[in-house]
Amino acid sequence: MIMHFIRLFFLIRFFPLLFRSRQSMLLEIAALRHQIGILKRCITQAKLKKGNRVFWVMLRKCWTDWRSALLLFNPHTVVEWHSKLQASALSFSFKPQTLTLSFKLQRFSIIMYQRD
């Protein structure tokens, strides 16, 4: 029931966005970019989490003009994240843990096997 309410809320909330004019969207984008510019001047260094970095790497792969949207960091930084992400993906290997038995348990199992 709650999920239906949430879906209905988002449908009602975002439905008018489909019919907004291009000019209205461009003005909103300009206003948001202005606010980001102000934040950029106030913050000396942006601290991004891994999810944010992955977002920019994926955006770099699928959008040719991704550099034009960068305001908080340099394009070279995104390229570095991409290379680090690829290096970590290539170096990842699944290593199953081997079970190690304590000496007493090994000795006990040998004794039990010999008694049978």
Tell me the pLDDT tens digit for each residue of 80-98: 887 887 777 656 555 555 5
Give residue limits of the domains in the chain: 1-44, 46-91
- Provide the total of helices (H) and of strands (E) in the chain, helices listed first: 5, 0
Question: What average pLDDT score do residues 24-46 get?
Answer: 78
- Identify the weakest region by mean pLDDT among 16-25, 43-52, 71-80, 100-109: 100-109
Mean pLDDT to the nearest integer, 18-45: 78
